[in-house]
Amino acid sequence: MLGPVVLDVEGPELTAADRARLRHPLVGMVILFARNYRSPGQLAALTAEIHALRGPSLLIAVDHEGGRVQRFREPPFTRIPPMAALGRLWDEDVLGACRVAASTGYVMASELRAHGVDLSFAPVLDLDWGRSGVIGDRALHRDARVVSLLAAQLCHGMALAGMANCGKHFPGHGWAEADSHTHEPVDPRARAAILGDDAAPYRWLGITLDSVMPAHVVYPEVDRLPAGFSRIWIERVLRGECGFTGAVFSDDLTMEGAKIAGDVVAAGQMAIDAGCDFALVCNNPAEADRLLAGLRWRSSAAFAERLARLQPRGAAPDMAALSASAAYRQARNDVLEWAKGAAATRG
């Protein structure tokens, strides 16, 4: 049985403490960071050992959006420009941007799968209001319609590689200026403004989205709690009004924006009780141990169904077979040509 806790591991190889933690029945997923990568062979060995501990259904995830949030950047991984560059391409060539978005999703997902990684927490659906430093060029565009259409193509490319997706950060982190890693952001706008603009991609994308990560942002016109701890946002708005049917991940419970919920156990319990399927705890093994010891959770048919939806589809290629694939070579060429143009534009 797998559970709702998502945690990380200490380095490029598993320690004895990592192995013991990963065997805990409440663990359902592992998230990797740049510190877990030293070489392609090492990464493949690490992911193989993680999967061997609990079987392939124990998922391995990573934040691999492109730009400054891309954990593995050295060859054979393709460097992906920030998503704002894709939005700028849209402004010049709508259909060309759609093609590049699908190719980008495919390249990103297929390269990760070739190294044993099952899920990327992408795409970002936040709008570029020009206010949030932590979002910034991670956002595709200011226009929610453009964000939705480009995100749909990114998700399509990921699906072609057999990978699920995760839209973030519901209902939107683009307006709130503070960084939830270090502060407690607040978005004071009216409910109608947030739902009509920032949250619109979650409604428009519908069943395209396999999972969603809410923001550690307080929207006081709706609830005093950050969205990831709010039944109003998760159950009433996301699942009820937007019709979302996939899994919900909390953002990292060790971030400052989660402190409003209390210690890590209280925060994890509040996230699960609010409707999150998974609770993330990163960069703090002691806090992960506390959460595993204190969280109260019972599996359900809905959880099993949502977990199954996140499983990769089809056999993962090895990198040699992937590199020989005509589809991969063409998609990668699309990305590299776009990256070259994006760099020239910045220059």
Query: pLDDT tens, 30-78?
Result: 999 999 999 999 999 999 999 999 988 999 999 999 999 999 999 999 9
Identify which has the larger pLDDT, 272 or 342.
272
Cα–Cα distances (Å) from 180 to 34, 61, 186, 288, 292, in that order, read 20, 21, 9, 19, 23
pLDDT single digits (tens) 182-199: 668 899 999 999 999 999
Instruction: Supply 114's token pair.
Output: 């070739």
- Provide the 3-class DSSP secondary structure of residue 69: strand
Contact 121, 59 (CB under 8 A): no
CA 230 to the chain's CA centroid? 19
Cite the active site residues: 181, 251
Cα–Cα distances (Å) from 183 to 111, 137, 178, 180, 250, in that order, read 34, 20, 6, 5, 17
- Quick one: pLDDT at residue 180? 63
pLDDT single digits (tens) 234-259: 999 999 999 999 999 999 999 876 77
pLDDT single digits (tens) 125-182: 999 999 888 899 999 999 999 999 999 999 999 999 999 999 999 999 999 976 666 6
- Cα-flanking dihedrals φ and ψ of residue 83, to 5°? -65, -25
- Quick one: pLDDT at residue 267? 94
In sequence order, what DSSP letters do the residues of 90-108 get, joined into one string? HHH-HHHHHHHHHHHHHHH
pLDDT single digits (tens) 269-291: 999 999 999 999 999 999 999 99
- Quick one: pLDDT at residue 333? 98
Instruction: Return the exposure string of 246-265: e unless at least 16 CB atoms fall within 10 Å of the residue's CB, then b.
Output: bbbbbbbbbbebbbebeebb
How confident is the prediction for the chain on average, in pLDDT?
95
